[in-house]
């Protein structure tokens, strides 16, 4: 039990961390949600009533909370560290033999819990809520008239999406020399374990009605998703990764997967680095400076990940390295700075 609470001092730091987090979260979430309300009210029309707006906002509420949670964790950790420093609790704890790493760990315990809880919600809860929200706002219009494309190996398919099947499908298959081998069309395609099963298929190149045609390499996941990759669960993104087409598209999906998976570690690395800088360069009663630094380092690091991610996508590097590398470097620099205090 002492490991969880850290004794009397540890319990005090943990409590302060939780209080500060909820205050910061309430402020940032309220501002973010107010902006979302204004944005949705502007979209009200005869098909999207005020009641629909209210229901839509309720459905996306949890997703918005998870989206800002990492930023709230960074800011609240820095403010908590500043508060216990200004109150003299930090100095007292160190005099009593409590190490700086132990103090920081006490502050991070609830933060780690909130980050892991956010990862759980993003995986199992928010995707279904986001789907319901999209359907409420747009209905079936987001897919009914829109053609989509998927690619697998040397084949390309063009189609429209129906809830139960694919319609108006045209499949282009090429040989190793990139010459057109088959062009198969069908008004209706169902997806089974064996692949894409074409209903009354027609070979356009030969103007021939086929008895049966199954595209065995046809992708099973991802192409029917109404959600963007940002709103999908990790499991959904991973399934799409297996069926992603060209290397650039695969790298884009891989980047989103590693960014979502590694977000708790990235947030912890930012916090450790920010606390190390705060301890070394900010004196007493400098919470405003700490707050500004925390916001800047959080947004700056997120921008850095996007830059590295785009470089990896464009140049064919590993997106996982673009995400994991900067986080590990940042936490290592913060660790070294704290160790030398």
What residues have CB less than 8 Å from 138, skipping those under 6 apart? none
12 and 126 share a domain?
yes
Domains contained in the chain, number? 3
What residues have CB less than 8 Å from 216, skipping those under 6 apart? 194, 195
What beta strand segments (E) does the chain contain?
147-152, 155-161, 166-174, 180-192, 195-199, 202-203, 208-209, 213-215
17 and 113 share a domain?
yes
What residues have CB less than 8 Å from 233, skipping those under 6 apart? 122, 123, 124, 127
Q: Show the CA angle centred on residue 178, arms to residues 176 and 180, nearest 5°.
A: 110
52 and 159 share a domain?
no
Domain residue limits at 54? 1-139
202-203 and 213-215 as β-strands: parallel, antiparallel, unpaired?
Answer: unpaired
Spacing of C-alpha 181 from chain mean position: 40
DSSP tally for the chain: helices H, then strands E: 12, 8
17 and 87 share a domain?
yes
Please report whether residue 18 resides in a domain.
yes
Please report whether residue 275 resides in a domain.
yes
Q: Which DSSP helix (H) or strand (E) runs through 261?
A: helix 247-261
29 and 153 share a domain?
no
Angstrom CA distances, 144 to 159, 171, 297, stand at 11, 19, 43
Closest CA to 292 of 111, 82, 100, 113: 82
Identify the burial level of 212 via C-beta atoms within 10 angstroms of its C-beta, where 0-12 means exposed, 13-18 middle and 19 or more buried: exposed
Helix (H, G, I), strand (E, B) or coil at 125: coil
Closest CA to 71 of 341, 271, 284, 258: 271
103 and 165 share a domain?
no
Tokens of 159: 């189609």
4 and 115 share a domain?
yes
Please report whether residue 240 resides in a domain.
no
Of 115, 139, 163, which marks where a domain is finished? 139
92 and 20 share a domain?
yes
Closest CA to 47 of 135, 146, 160, 145: 135
- Distance CA(113)–CA(16), nearest Å, equals 15
Residue 144 main-chain phi, psi, to 5 deg: -60, -40
pLDDT per residue of the chain (341 residues) written in tens, 0 to 9: 455 555 777 889 999 999 999 999 999 999 999 999 999 998 888 888 999 999 999 999 999 999 999 999 999 999 999 899 888 888 888 888 888 899 999 999 999 999 999 999 999 999 999 988 988 887 655 444 567 777 777 788 888 877 678 889 999 998 877 788 899 999 999 888 788 999 999 999 888 999 899 998 887 655 556 667 778 888 888 877 766 656 667 788 888 899 899 999 999 999 999 999 888 888 777 878 888 888 888 888 988 888 888 888 888 778 888 899 999 999 999 999 988 87
Of 79, 108, 139, which marks where a domain is finished? 139
- Taken in order 17, 19, 20, 26, is the CA torsion positive or negative? positive
- Distance CA(232)–CA(222), nearest Å, equals 10
180-192 and 155-161 as β-strands: parallel, antiparallel, unpaired?
Answer: unpaired
Per-residue pLDDT, 69:
95
Please report whether residue 93 resides in a domain.
yes
- Distance CA(293)–CA(254), nearest Å, equals 30
Of 139, 171, 188, which marks where a domain is finished? 139
Per-residue pLDDT, 76:
93
166 and 289 share a domain?
no
277 and 254 share a domain?
yes
Please report whether residue 238 resides in a domain.
no
Please report whether residue 234 resides in a domain.
no
Angstrom CA distances, 63 to 94, 125, 181, 230, 339, stand at 40, 9, 45, 11, 37
Please report whether residue 231 resides in a domain.
no
68 and 159 share a domain?
no
Tell me 163's DSSP state. Answer: S
- Distance CA(129)–CA(137), nearest Å, equals 12
Please report whether residue 233 resides in a domain.
no
97 and 200 share a domain?
no
């Amino acid at each position: 039990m002492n490991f969880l609470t850290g004794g009397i001092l540890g319990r005090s730091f943990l409590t302060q961390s939780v209080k500060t987090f909820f205050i910061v979260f309430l402020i940032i979430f309220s501002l973010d949600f107010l902006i979302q309300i204004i944005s949705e009210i502007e979209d009200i029309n005869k098909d999207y009533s005020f009641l629909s707006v209210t229901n839509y906002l309720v459905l996306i509420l949890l997703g918005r909370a998870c989206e800002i949670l990492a930023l709230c964790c960074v800011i609240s950790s820095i403010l908590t560290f500043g508060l216990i420093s200004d109150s003299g609790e930090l100095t007292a704890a160190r005099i009593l033999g409590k190490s700086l790493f132990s103090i920081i760990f006490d502050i991070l315990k609830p933060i780690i819990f909130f980050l892991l809880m956010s990862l759980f919600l993003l995986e199992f809860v928010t995707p279904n809520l986001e789907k319901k929200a999209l359907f409420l706002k747009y209905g079936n219009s987001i897919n009914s008239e829109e053609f989509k494309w998927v690619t697998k190996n040397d084949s390309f398919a063009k189609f429209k999406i129906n809830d139960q099947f694919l319609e108006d499908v045209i499949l282009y298959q090429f040989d190793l020399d990139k010459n057109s081998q088959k062009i198969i069309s069908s008004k209706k395609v169902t997806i089974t374990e064996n692949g894409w099963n074409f209903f009354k298929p027609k070979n356009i190149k030969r103007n021939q009605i086929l008895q049966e045609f199954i595209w065995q390499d046809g992708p099973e996941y991802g192409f029917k998703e109404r959600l963007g990759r940002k709103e999908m669960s990790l499991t959904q993104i991973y399934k799409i990764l297996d069926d992603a087409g060209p290397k650039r598209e695969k790298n884009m999906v891989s980047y989103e997967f590693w960014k979502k998976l590694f977000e708790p570690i990235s947030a912890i690395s930012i916090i450790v680095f920010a606390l190390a800088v705060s301890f070394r360069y900010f004196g007493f009663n400098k919470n405003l400076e700490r707050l500004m630094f925390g916001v800047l380092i959080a947004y700056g690091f997120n921008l850095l990940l996007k830059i590295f991610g785009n470089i990896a996508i464009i140049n064919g590097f590993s997106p996982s390295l673009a995400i994991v590398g900067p986080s590990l470097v940042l936490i290592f620099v913060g660790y070294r700075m704290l160790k030398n205090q």
